[in-house]
Amino acid sequence: MNASLELTLYPFGQKNIEVIDQFIENLEKYHNINIETNILSTIITGEYSVLMDLLNTECKLVFEKSAASFVIKLSNTCGCNC
């Protein structure tokens, strides 16, 4: 089943842009998803189980390095060709 995630990352601290850039760079290592970024959020589409595994791994990495908050929207009717 395909799904879509819209994520907004709010790192707390002085290196917030670095945390966001590293998060997006880590996402780009996954070859079986599609990533769209804009100034407000990152939209990731792909197989549901891949997205859930990605969230578990990548959000944990952010939390281990920085205090942060994520706003996450998850949909299985993304309105795209995912």
Q: Give domain status of residue 80, yes or no.
A: no
* Residue 77 pLDDT level (bands cut at 50, 70, 90): confident
The pLDDT of residue 66: 92
Please tell me what DSSP assigns to residue 77: -
Residue 64's domain comprises 2-75
The pLDDT of residue 8: 97
Q: Residue 23 burial (CB < 10 Å; 0-12/13-18/19+)?
A: buried
Can you give the CATH number for the domain in which 71 is found?
3.30.70.930
Q: What are phi and psi of 35, to 5 degrees?
A: -125, 130
Q: Give domain status of residue 34, yes or no.
A: yes
pTM here is 0.85
Residue 81 predicted with pLDDT over 80: no
Q: Give domain status of residue 37, yes or no.
A: yes
pLDDT tens for each residue of 20-60: 999 999 999 999 999 999 999 999 999 999 999 999 999 99
Q: How many domains does the chain have?
A: 1
Beta strands in 1-82 (DSSP E): 2-11, 33-37, 42-47, 68-75
Characterise 79 by phi-psi region: left (phi > 0), alpha (psi -120 to 50), beta (else): left
